[in-house]
Structure 1
Amino acid sequence: MLIEEDTKKKYRCNRCSKVLITLFNMRKHIESHMQIHKCETCEKEFQTRTQLSRHLLIHKLYDCPECSQKFPKTEIQYHRADEHGVPIPTCGICGYRTESRCTLLKHQRRVHMTEKTIPCPHCDMKFFENSSLNQHLIRHNPVKKYECKFCKKKFPRTETLLRHERIHTGEKKKVCNRCGEKFVQKASLNYHMMKRHPDAV
């Protein structure tokens, strides 16, 4: 989207609202929305390289200060609590444990106090945080801005787009735990289970 301020041309991305001063840079930026960045360790997919870099931290191993074992950053605190008795923030109501007191407070407000103070401007629903409201708002205005690079079909959410594109790539992540047959979509796996393994449904 082209905008002009003080006779200077600027370009705003219609997907993330980022503003760039050259058309070349904007085209490169738009390409970043179309790329899929995959983690080589767990094959999880991300829309941007920054999201992938942040995700890769969970695979990095850290030394336990109390013993010689190594753990991902998200697990080391639980190991220290279970094996070495190092205190960890724990919910007194349900026993939920987390790495930080801030996350624990957020859990208690959302789950036990059912705090919902952010109203939807279109209906009577309320939400605990803006991210939940933003996901909900797609229902009221399902702008399909994420386009499949294979068939040009559009979707309102990136996760829906990535799931759809597996139809074109043939990537089969859904596996039947009875016979090992693989499927692209969960709906196909569910149909398979009803037809082949009705006793397991």
Structure 2
Amino acid sequence: MCKEEVPPERQQQTPSLDQQEPEPPYIKEEQEELWTNQETEDSEDWEDTAEPGPGSNSQNKLVFCQNRSDVVERPSSYTARNDKGEKIWICSFCGKSSKYQTTHKRHIMMHKEEKPFSCSVCAKSFVCKGNLQKHMRTHTGERPFSCSVCGKDFTLKRNLERHTMIHTGEKPFSCSVCGKRFIDKPDFSRHMRTHTGERPFSCSVCGNMFKHSCDLNKHMTVHTGDKPFSCSVCCKRFSCKSNVKKHMRIHTGEKA
């Protein structure tokens, strides 16, 4: 038997439903900057589309199934049915719902930090093969997506779509507090945290909270000592990319 109920902890924050197979979500990595015309940032852009599941405000009711055979066989997941009777997969870590099981499995791997696909050039690891293939373009220089207006090339389709809005002037996401408008939802969501003060990204070592996942990633290097970014001239290593850019001015003579 299935009965309709909305769990108390999700009454105000029912996760939204995926309407189509999306790009794999990533919570741990987010854009370092809200928007830049520098195509050099594209290598990090595509990893930055995820927002924490509990922040969703969908009004769809879920029907939670009591039948044990209808539950995904992993403690980090469970299934439900939306108001259309369609089966969906729910993440027990953050509450994100997925219409497709393959998308859900990739999402769970992100929480468990399982990254089986590794880059043969820099050894960076990824949850799924598609993301590795996109990452490889940062090494090969491949830019398969071209703007029909100005001819600018991009490594990722979503970056081309966002760039096209510069020509059209389209900014579909508007802040209800200050009226500022944004090209895409991730930028809009990050902006809203300046009003709400929300800090959804937590350090697993010391418990410090951060507004953006990129800030958490930078902070984690304090604990790990990791310095993944290096100067191409003198090989000095840095914990974050922005510090490499500042350091390069020593070699180029560029003023801050």
Q: What's the TM-score, normalizing by structure 1? A: 0.57
Offset at 1:58? 3.2
Higher mean displacement: 99-108 or 177-186: 99-108
Q: Which amino acid aligns with 1:136?
A: H
3-state SS, counterpart of residue 111 of structure 1: helix
Q: Larger RCO: Structure 1 or Structure 2 (Cα < 8 Å, ≥ 6 residues apart)? A: 2
User: Is the aligned partner of 1:30 residue 2:30?
Assistant: no
Higher mean displacement: 33-42 or 99-108: 99-108
CA contact under 8 A between 1:147 and 1:155: conserved in structure 2?
yes
Q: Which amino acid aligns with 1:95?
A: G
> What are the equivalent positions in structure 2 for 1:114-129 lying under 5 Å apart?
114-129=169-184
3-state SS, counterpart of residue 132 of structure 1: helix
Structure whose alpha-carbon radius of gyration is higher: 1
Unaligned runs of 5+ in 1: 61-71, 79-87
3-state SS, counterpart of residue 177 of structure 2: coil
Unaligned runs of 5+ in 2: 16-51, 57-61, 66-70, 79-90, 95-107
d(CA) in 1 for partners of 2:242, 2:135 = 30
3-state SS, counterpart of residue 152 of structure 1: coil
Q: 1:105 to 1:36 in 2, by over 3 A?
A: closer
Offset at 1:103? 8.0
1:180 to 235, 244, 247: 235
Offset at 1:120? 0.8
CA contact under 8 A between 2:193 and 2:199: conserved in structure 1?
no
Q: 1:152 to 1:53 in 2, by over 3 A?
A: farther
Q: 1:11 to 1:169 in 2, by over 3 A?
A: same
Equivalent in the alignment of 1:91: 148
Instruction: Give 1 or 2: higher helix fraction.
Output: 1
User: Is the aligned partner of 1:16 residue 2:53?
Assistant: yes
Higher mean displacement: 151-160 or 98-107: 98-107
What is the alpha-carbon root mean square deviation over aligned residues?
4.8
> What are the equivalent positions in structure 2 for 1:73-88 lying under 5 Å apart?
75=142, 78=144
Equivalent in the alignment of 1:68: none
Offset at 1:116? 2.1
- Deviations 1:75-99 (Å, cap 9, x if unpaired)? 4x94xxxxxxxxx86523x113469
CA contact under 8 A between 1:91 and 1:104: conserved in structure 2?
no
Offset at 1:158? 1.9
Q: Which amino acid aligns with 1:158?
A: S
User: Is the aligned partner of 1:140 residue 2:195?
Assistant: yes
3-state SS, counterpart of residue 216 of structure 2: helix
CA contact under 8 A between 2:134 and 2:155: conserved in structure 1?
no
Q: What's the TM-score, normalizing by structure 2? A: 0.47
Q: Which amino acid aligns with 2:76?
A: N
Query: What is the total number of aligned residue pairs between the two structures?
Result: 169
Offset at 1:191? 7.0
Q: Which amino acid aligns with 2:233?
A: R
Offset at 1:175? 1.5
Q: 1:144 to 1:166 in 2, by over 3 A?
A: same
Offset at 1:55? 0.5
- Deviations 1:18-75 (Å, cap 9, x if unpaired)? 98889x53698429565445552044466xx4xx443034379xxxxxxxxxxx9x94
Q: Which amino acid aligns with 1:56?
A: L
3-state SS, counterpart of residue 179 of structure 1: coil
Equivalent in the alignment of 1:40: 118
d(CA) in 2 for partners of 1:135, 1:157 = 7
3-state SS, counterpart of residue 134 of structure 2: helix
d(CA) in 2 for partners of 1:143, 1:58 = 31
